[in-house]
Each structure stands twice: as structure tokens, then as C-alpha cells.
Amino acid sequence: MKIKRHASVLALIAAGALALSACGSDQNTNSGGSSPSGTGNSNAAGVKPDCEGVKEAIKASGSSAQANAIARFQVAYQNACSGKKMDYNSNGSGNGVKEFLGKQTDFGGSDSPLSKDKGEVQQATARCDGAPAWNLPAVFGPIAITYNVKGADGLVLDGSVLGKIFSGQITTWNDPAIAALNQGKTLPGDKITVIFRSDESGTTDNFQQYLEASSKGTWTKGKGKVFNGGIGEGAKGNENTSAAIARTPGSITYNEWSFAKQNKLQIAKIVNSGGGEAVELNSASAGKAIEGAKVKGQGNDLELDLKSIYATPTPGAYPLVLAAYEIVCSKYTDQAQGKAVKAFLTAAVTTGQRGLEDNGYIPVPEAFQTKLLTAIGAIA
């Protein structure tokens, strides 16, 4: 299976390959001025993939939200382990989990961890021949609220208004609730067209969890990988929701920041649950929110509790941030397969983190990187 790459990403990766192989230290900085984790982080210094005895080719599938990050990880892996490759199919988190559980892939990519309620944890143990599966958050990506309203750049929204928009309670752009957050802006009376993910999506799950936590009761539709708003037009994957926004005046959706940047879409500012100033999405504001994330998994299962992010009152913290997981077996019966997964993920969370801001991601925070390297090192 081949990763669905975009032309602009290919051009960027081609240039990045030279930088990754030639540079011993990262020259990129995020908007907060600090070096990205995995580059100048002393905890990762000298950590390199062990390429001895790895399977020549492995494959994974799932989250389209992390597809552009995976493209960078592939370059880092190929530079570290010459002649080895990992193919990724960006077909949505739901498919990523299903194909991993069905042994169609070596690991899965998902914007939501394995669900106990749906029996996924138990199925994963069976898939891993009795060994537990681990959720490893290797990619942090803000979810952008993107829209297409001419003359309304920098639109301000909050959880309450978004809950009403995505459940059909607010249907026009000049609604008083939107106008109250955007004083001084001239808003059209055009109908709002909601675009949602038609496939099972971890991005949808995270967005609906955010609405539950921050809407102050205006969102009562629940959460999950299927959009529950009951309105709008569906599009498959971040690629197609982004394309739908670009061609549909009056539309709004939720999609991963890297796709919003790549397609030059209008991005809303969000007033978080603190009720203060609107927060612009950038590396610094998203990083500020990530600092509050807590691990709720046990041992090397690094499932995160993101509820405190969704409803964060912290000034300047952007509240809509998802963690994209690589779902792996803690032990593989095929030793070469396990070694390849371990080598790929080691490259991903070290040199693979370089320049992620260029694609709209936040490099793994140092505290998580240390935990990730410990967990990855324990894969057998």
C-alpha cells in the first residue's frame, strides 16, 4: 500500500531528505523560539534505530491526520536503515484499527486509542498472539476549524457557538451568537454548510470530545469516530474535507492543521474555556495546551487523557489538539517484523521530528519523547 502524498509534500520531503542526512543538528525552531523535541533534546542524543535483522518492508494504515508527518518519518527511517521501507495507506483511523486487528498491517495509525468499550483492546491482544497492544502517541496535531467566508479572515468562535453550528442550531453566518464574538466584522447572511468526515475518523472523535467538554451544553450529540451532528455534507479523509471547504462558499469543517495550511484555508481563532481572548492556532499556542496532557495508560501503554486540553482555561492555550497514536504489538511473533516496527518508530520520534512545524504538527514534547523511547525500546 502506498501513502497518498500531495505534490507539495513530495517537494518538501525531497528537500528534507538531504537535510536529514547531512545535518547533525536541527536548525528549525518553532514559533515559541525553542528547539523542537527530538533534535536538541539531550534525552534523545545518540539514540539511533537498530537496523540489524529488520524486515525489509513493513506496512501500516490509518489516520489521515498524521499522513504528512508519516511522510517525514519515512524519510528519516530510510536514511537510518538504507534499503528498508514502511508503506502507509492514509485511509482513516477506523480502517487503521480494523486492518491492524485483522493482521493486514504491522501497526495501525489512529487519532483515538484502542477502545475497551468496543472490544478493541481484547481483539488487539488476540491479534498480538496474547501480548498486549500499546498506544504510542508519536504525532501531535492541532485540529483547525476551517471555513470559506469571503472577507471574514480571523473569524472568532468558541465551543458554545461551534456546538450550535455543528448540530444545526445556528444556520447562517450573521447569527447574533457569531456576531457577538466578531464585533466590527461584517458577516454575510449566507447559509452555513457543515462539512464532516464521512469515514470513521479519530479527528471526528477528538472534535466531538472537544464539543462535549467546551460547548457548555450546546452539543448533546455525543462522541465517537462517526459524526453525530445529523446535518451537513460528508467527505472522506482530511484531504477531501479540505478540498470541499476550498470549493464551497459558506462552508465550515474541522480538519488537521497540516491540511489547512497546505490548502491555505481560512482558520478560526478559538476562545477557550477560560473565556478570555481568542487564541490563534500556532505552534506556541498548541504547545502550551500539550504541556497539560496527562498519561492515563499503564506502563508502556501511553494513552493520553486530553480532557483537560479540550476544556483548558489556560490563557493563550489552543484547546483543539489531538494525539495521533501508532498502535503496536508489545511483542511480535515474527522477530524481524518487531525489529522493523521498533526501528521505524525510533526514527520517527527522534530525527523524524525535525521540521514537523512546516507541515502543521507540534514536535513531541520532551517528557513524552523520553517515555516513547522507553516504550519503543521495549517492543520485542
Does residue 225 sit in the same domain as residue 268?
yes
Average pLDDT, the chain: 87
Give the model's pLDDT for residue 33.
32
Residue 14 pLDDT > 80: no
57 assigned to a ligand binding site: no
63 assigned to a ligand binding site: yes
251 assigned to a ligand binding site: no
Residue 373 grid cell: 523511547
Residue 253 pLDDT > 90: yes
285 assigned to a ligand binding site: no
For residues 305-323, give the mean pLDDT.
89
Instruction: CATH number of the domain at 81, please.
Output: 3.40.190.10
Does residue 109 sit in the same domain as residue 220?
no
Range of the domain at 178: 143-288
Does residue 274 sit in the same domain as residue 215?
yes
**What is the spatial distance between Cα 210 and Cα 294, in angstroms, rounded to a whole number?**
16
**For the chain, what percent of residues have pLDDT higher than 70?**
88
Note the pLDDT tens digit of each residue in 173-225: 999 999 999 999 999 999 999 999 999 888 999 999 999 999 999 999 999 99
Does residue 190 sit in the same domain as residue 253?
yes
Residue 139 grid cell: 504525532
The burial of 14, by beta-carbon neighbours within 10 Å (0-12 exposed, 13-18 middle, 19 or more buried), is given as exposed
Residue 278 pLDDT > 90: yes
pTM for the structure as a whole: 0.74
111 assigned to a ligand binding site: yes
For residues 330-339, give the mean pLDDT.
98
Give the model's pLDDT for residue 376.
98
Does residue 278 sit in the same domain as residue 201?
yes
Last-in-domain residue among 288, 306, 339? 288
User: Phi first, then psi: what are they for 28, rounded to 5°?
Assistant: -80, 150
Residue 7 grid cell: 505534490
Residues 59, 27 contacting (CB under 8 angstroms): no
Does residue 277 sit in the same domain as residue 190?
yes
Residue 254 pLDDT > 60: yes
Does residue 124 sit in the same domain as residue 183?
no
93 assigned to a ligand binding site: yes
Q: Which residue has the higher pLDDT, 43 or 231?
A: 231
Q: What's the structural domain count of the chain? A: 2
Q: Give the pLDDT band of residue 45 (cuts 50, 70, 90).
A: low
**For the chain, what percent of residues have pLDDT higher than 90?**
72
Does residue 112 sit in the same domain as residue 25?
yes
Does residue 116 sit in the same domain as residue 166?
no
Residue 164 lies in a domain: yes
3-state secondary structure of 142: strand
Q: CB 225: neighbour CB atoms within 10 A? A: 23
Does residue 152 sit in the same domain as residue 248?
yes
64 assigned to a ligand binding site: yes
Last-in-domain residue among 288, 315, 341? 288
Residue 243 lies in a domain: yes
Q: Which residue has the higher pLDDT, 20 or 124?
A: 124
Does residue 180 sit in the same domain as residue 203?
yes
Does residue 184 sit in the same domain as residue 147?
yes
115 assigned to a ligand binding site: no
Residue 214 lies in a domain: yes
Residue 299 lies in a domain: no
Residue 304 lies in a domain: no
Residue 248 lies in a domain: yes
Residue 317 lies in a domain: no
| Kind plus residue range of the DSSP H or E element containing 325 | strand 321-329
Residues 113, 303 contacting (CB under 8 angstroms): yes
Q: Which residue has the higher pLDDT, 60 or 313?
A: 60
Least confident stretch, 25-29, 286-290, 334-338:
25-29
Q: Which amino acid is at 51?
A: C
Q: Give the pLDDT band of residue 44 (cuts 50, 70, 90).
A: low
Residues 208, 228 contacting (CB under 8 angstroms): yes
Q: Give the pLDDT band of residue 43 (cuts 50, 70, 90).
A: low
Last-in-domain residue among 240, 270, 288? 288
Q: Which residue has the higher pLDDT, 4 or 302?
A: 302
46 sits in the region (left: phi over 0; alpha: psi -120 to 50; else beta) called left
Give the model's pLDDT for residue 5.
37
Residue 2 lies in a domain: no
Residues 77, 50 contacting (CB under 8 angstroms): no
